[in-house]
Structure 1
Amino acid sequence: MTGPAETPDPRAPLDRLAAITANRIGCFEWDPAGGRFTLDDTGLAVFDLRPEEYEGTTASLNQRMPVEEVMRMHRLLEDIRAGRSESCSSYVRIRLRDGATRWTHVQGQAVHDPGLRVLGVVRDATTELAHSAMRLMAEDDRQRQQAALREMVAALGEALSVTDVVAVLTGDQSRRRLGAQGISLGVVDHGRLRMVGAIGPLPVGAQAMRRARLTDPWPLNDVVRSGEPAFYTSQAAFLRQYPDLAELVAASTATAAAFLPLVAQGRPIGAMALIYAGRRTFSIEDRTLLTTLTSAIAQSLQRAILVDQSREIAAGLQSAMLPRRLPVLRGGSLAVRYRTARVGTWIGGDWYDAVALAEDAVGVAIGDVQGHDTEAAAIMGQLRIAMTAYASEGHSAASVLARASAFLADLPADRFATCLYAQVALATGETWLVNAGHLPPLVRRADGSVLRLDLPTGLPLGLPADWGAGGYPASVFRLGHGDSLLFYTDGLVERPGEDLERGLARLAEVFAAGPAQLPALADHVRDTLGERLEAEDDAALLLLHRD
């Protein structure tokens, strides 16, 4: 009789060396300090090297690797040497001695005992990549990443201000496209890195960075100073570089982070941080994608900063040309608002003014000088002061515009201006209105209804006197108790390609729906139409309310 068959012991030790050799998996050890890169026999076979051909250094591998693959391997190993990563994993191409190409997978892990060593394996991956679904998935991922990059670059191309750039980068779509849990952006500002936008978890030390100088050792500060990105694929690797941040890191769920400098024309202008949860590696393709993206972000951000600065200068000049204070009225109140153009950096010629007249009367005016440049703004300032002087001298409404037109015509600049002017006796409500080619005023009655005053219109100011023999005819209107008179410029109603009547109807609707208090009503009209319109032109409005 034969005895029972012996059952294999599942706890018996595996012959690991035999398994590795049978699957043509080679082993390597890299000693950064000594410069040695040791390969076993199987590893040499994977690289198609004979023992006598190999000198035991990374440079010895160059004969089997194209230049771009040498650079890929160098970056991966340097990240480990610099403490930015604990591991490396990549597919690289090997050029065999017969001229054929072989795909090889290289994977390594840092070991600290206590010096740094990298232990890893290499294997022939040609068949794997040629026939596995992973290669197709990788190609799909790469195409999706490229599509996401194109979408973000297109969105950045339309950004007109730093606020717009921040909105593109910190939106939910950007977080989805980049696969990041958190995104934050900072700009260099007088020796500091000023955080201007963030979504999701902030980078480590972000709160402290709001008060820190650019010379302080924070991750984003460091990449700004060095101009080189930093990738971290573990908290341990991050803490070896920034041990003082251990307490902050302990509360974070991040597993990887990318700190990217934003450099435009060779000058660092900011930095961006991407925080990931669950990610463990950055492939060379990932790094190339992010580097390409940061270049586009830097160009867009630099353009936006310059536009913001120019717009701030333009708005300051425009504001200086407008009246600094309005007269205090007995029997009425005034409110004015001005909005600069969001498109471009032109200085506009829109203006408004109000002057107290005798016997509880007030003169109010609004106008628009032709052009969008510094000359238009300068002419606007001169014209406004001249009209104030004519009104203060006691001239009639029609005479004020006639004299202002002659004044503008005598200036050396070949410009004209539209203008709407009214003299209002607040005690009786009697109002004299004259129009020099401007848009018609609106009146909101005490009951909330809105009336458009279609006035006889004279020529714009500054045109030759013999062009308009009729001068500027005055219309008389009574402003009732509780009524509000609205003057405005075309930037508040006009939209490219749209009929003007639609813009006027929209303004009347917004005016009717506004709150009762005059300052709140002015804000309502400006802000509501400012959101709806493209804001390609500056806009001004003036409200006069009879108590």
Structure 2
Amino acid sequence: MGDREPRLEPGEALAATRVGCFAWDPATGRLTLDPVARTVFGLLPAEFTGLSSDLRPKIRAEDWELLSGLSADLLSGRRNAYSAYFRVHLHDGRSRWTHARGTLVRERPGGAARVVGVIRDATLDLAHTALRLPAEEEQDPLRALGEGALALARAMSVDEVAEVLGSETSLRPLGAKAISLGVLEQGRLQMVRTVVSPGSSDFPAKSRLADSLPLNDVVRTNSPLFFTSVHSFLDRYPGLARYRVGFSATAAAFLPLMDEGQPIGALGVFYDDRSVFSFADHTLMTGWAKAVARAVHRVVPLDRSREIAAALQNAMLPRRIPRTPGGLVAVRYRTARKGVRVGGDWYDAVTLPDGGLGLAIGDVQGHDTEAAALMGQLRVAMAAYAAEGHGCDTVLGKASAFLAQLDSDRFATCQYLRVALDTGEVQAANAGHPPPLLRHADGTVDVVRLAGGPPLGLPAEWGRTAYPYTTARLAPGETLLLYSDGLVEKPGEDFDVGLSRLAAAFSGGPPDLEELADHLLDTLTGGPHAEDDAALLMVRRDGAGTTALQPLGRRD
């Protein structure tokens, strides 16, 4: 027999592959289904009267919502066609994955619109895809992102949320190469995590919500955007072409962040070689976006309150540290990351009448505005006593009496030192504060035990209020560290354990004094749940030497 071209019967091919056809009139709600389409939906003759509403009991509620949204986009002109996966309830109690593709057609320009398309059993489509929902379809799609969701729940700032988004715990389950985050602030979108090429550092960090940018558009419309080609993306956003240099993503999903009905911001999720976003992808990313929105909504007020607390606290700290010929001084302050209350930690450095340097660090009891106010008053009073040229014992004695007279029922721990950087002579007294640390020129660290007395502000009738002091000598190249207990203490942990941790960080830190200060804060206060504020003050004598800080005597 000769070669014959096989006969093609479109209707037979559609039926054999279980592909049905439909036509829907939005104006009347009338829906036409061919026999194959009715089989795909599992409809009995009595269950279908020719209305689209007949399908609602057959389709899961969340899927019906998705299909309704896609149809609305089609009718409004936001889409030319749609493609969606959804689940159909069968009479035996199972659910079946189904796929529909619809297109808007008009008999003439401006005429009545109809949606026509095809529908098919999509069980085989989703049998092997990595991003389909698990076989037990009731399972929460966020289970695959459980580790990332847990990290989001622990985040205490927007920056920490952004860190979670950039980690493998987020990227791997989504199959994404990168994620960007924009947060809505006073009508503008602030980029917290930006995904652009290295040569595009001028990408706007903040933009008006009305600007034509993908994240801005999804916030404004509360509708996601999906792109499976660079061409389609640049066709809509030609001005972003220059930011793609060196960035290899070829597909992207842009998702609005909403929580409790409020717009929070938007996510950009970027992919390599993604040709389609299935319903399972939509479900997973939508669920993830909800988790991110909840996290951002929770931490934004914490960030703002923390900024207010830090601004109030910093306003009460010295605006500048005096010049220190013969040495260097570095200071740092960090508010508590757990909670948003201001604290009572402070530091100060003043020039003394004899040309020396007066250094103080302290902590007023409590974490509230009263503690901060008392801290400000006490710091100013101590600076005035120091400027009068008093010795360490007198300065602390006067400060204690001053705090007691305020009748606040608060006490404060404090250290006060007089340092002559030209000779290295140090005079130091302590009022119940943790001991200083000394880093020698070779990097070894010692704990410096100072003579002293009780915390400041205790009533005189409680007994001893004198503050004996220790004299010592600071060798060239040595660094003295004063700190508050927020740098050391952790709930339930022995103080000496925290002190050893601080000594190790101090010893192993960089040689530059400013970098060393940052290193100590980053190492010891970087946890998301730090419960206390922390202050530190370091002084280093110029030069290099090996002479240790030696106590010369104790004066009562």
**TM-score category (smaller protein):** 0.7 to 0.9
In structure 2, the residue matched to 1:3 is: none
- CA drift at 1:394: 2.7
Query: What letter corresponds to residue 170 of structure 1 in structure 2?
Result: G
Counterpart AA for 1:88: S
Match of residue 295, structure 1, among 290, 294, 297? 290
Query: Which of these residues, 358, 363, 371, is aligned with residue 366 of structure 2?
Result: 371
Q: 2:395 aligns with which of 391, 400, 405?
A: 400
Task: Confirm whether residue 12 of structure 1 aligns to residue 6 of structure 2.
Answer: yes
2:301 maps to which residue? Answer: 306
Taking structure 1 as the reference length, what is the TM-score of the superposition?
A: 0.82
Q: How does 1:514-533 map to 2 (within 5 A)?
A: 514-531=509-526
Residues 87 and 496 of structure 1: CA distance in aligned 2, closer, same or farther (over 3 Å):
same
Number of residue pairs matched by the alignment: 532
Q: Give the counterpart letter for 1:164 in structure 2.
A: E
**Rounded Cα–Cα distance in structure 2 between residues aligned with 1:345 and 1:86:** 50
Q: Which moved more, 1:445-454 or 1:25-34?
A: 25-34
Deviation at 1:300, TM superposition (A): 1.3
- Structure 1, unpaired ranges of 5+: 1-5
Q: Which residue identity is paired with 1:15? A: E
Q: For 1:500 and 1:192, how far apart are their aligned partners in 2?
A: 46
Q: Does 1:157 align with 2:150?
A: no
Alignment partner of 1:108 out of 77, 101, 104 = 101
Given the superposition, is the C-alpha separation of residues 107 and 195 from structure 1 closer, same or farther in structure 2, using an over 3 Å criterion? same
Q: CA deviation at 1:166?
A: 0.7
TM-score when scaled to structure 2?
A: 0.81
Deviation at 1:69, TM superposition (A): 6.2
Residue in structure 1 matching 2:352, options 357, 376, 400: 357
Work out whether 1:229 is the aligned partner of 2:236: no
1:527 CA displacement: 3.6
Where is the helix percentage greater, Structure 1 or Structure 2? 1
Taking only the aligned residue pairs, the percentage that are identical comes to: 48
> 1: CA distance between counterparts of 2:250 and 2:422?
73
The 8 Å contact of residues 145 and 177 in structure 1, kept in 2 or not, is answered as no
Q: Aligned in 2, Cα 1:486/1:119: closer, same or farther, shift over 3 Å? A: same
Aligned partner of 1:170 among 162, 166, 172: 166
CA 1:200–1:511 in structure 2 vs 1: closer, same or farther (change >3 Å)? same
Q: Which of 312, 320, 323 is residue 315 of structure 2 equivalent to?
A: 320
**Root-mean-square deviation (Å):** 4.1
More deviation, 291-300/443-452:
443-452
Q: Is the 8 A contact 2:142 2:287 kept in 1?
A: no
Offset at residue 266 of structure 1 (A): 2.6
Q: CA deviation at 1:432?
A: 2.2
Tell me, in whole angstroms, the C-alpha distance in 1 between the residues paired with 2:330 and 2:128. Answer: 68
Q: What letter matches 1:18 in structure 2?
A: E
Partners of 1:512 and 1:135 in 2: CA distance: 49
Q: Residue 60 of structure 2 contacts residue 87 of structure 2 at CA under 8 Å; is this kept in 1? A: no
* Pairs within 5 Å for 1:344-493: 344-469=339-464, 471-493=466-488
Out of 11, 34, 40, which is 2:34 matched to? 40
Do the aligned partners of residues 243 and 359 (structure 1) sit closer, same or farther apart at CA in structure 2, a change above 3 Å counting?
A: closer
Alpha-carbon distance in structure 2 between the residues aligned to 1:328 and 1:174: 48
Report what 2:212 is aligned to. Answer: 217
Asked whether the 8 Å contact 2:103–2:116 carries over to 1, the reply is yes
Deviation at 1:179, TM superposition (A): 2.3
Q: Secondary structure at the match of 1:365?
A: strand
Compared CA separation, residues 201 and 94, structure 1 to 2 (3 A): farther
**1:241-320 alignment, distance < 5 Å:** 242=236, 257-284=252-279, 286-320=281-315
Q: Which amino acid aligns with 1:58?
A: S
Q: What is the CA–CA distance in structure 1 between the aligned matches of 2:387 and 2:501, rounded to whole Å?
A: 35
Offset at residue 174 of structure 1 (A): 0.7
Deviation at 1:315, TM superposition (A): 1.1
Matches within 5 A, 1:109-124: 110=103, 119-122=116-119
Give 1:524 deviation, angstroms.
3.8
Deviations 1:70-127 (A, max 9, x none): 545434544555544744243543677xx998858453254879978755444578xx
Matched position secondary structure for 2:286: helix
Q: Is the 8 A contact 2:24 2:30 kept in 1?
A: yes
Deviations 1:259-313 (A, max 9, x none): 2211233321211122344445545554344333323322211222211111111
Distance apart, 1:503 and its partner CA: 2.4
1:149-189 Cα shifts (integer Å, max 9, x gaps):
43333211111111001111222221112223432211123
How many angstroms apart in 1 are the aligned matches of 2:207 and 2:387? 55
Q: Distance in 1 between the 2:286 and 2:529 partners?
A: 33
CA distance in structure 2 between the partners assigned to 1:257 and 1:325 by the alignment: 48
Distance 1:36 1:435, change over 3 A: same
Offset of residue 326 of structure 1: 2.2
CA contact 1:85–1:237 (8 Å) conserved in 2: no
Stretch moving more, 442-451 or 43-52: 43-52
Following the alignment from structure 1 to structure 2, what is the Cα–Cα distance between the partners of residues 13 and 475? 105
Gaps of 5+ in 2: 543-556
SS at match of 2:208: coil
CA displacement, residues 372-393 of structure 1 (integer Å, 9 cap, x when unaligned): 1111111111001111111222
Query: Which structure's CA Rg is the greater one?
Result: 1
Residue 500 of structure 1 aligns to which amino acid in structure 2? F
| Pairs within 5 Å for 1:19-30 | 19-21=13-15, 25-30=19-24
Q: Secondary structure at the match of 1:293?
A: helix
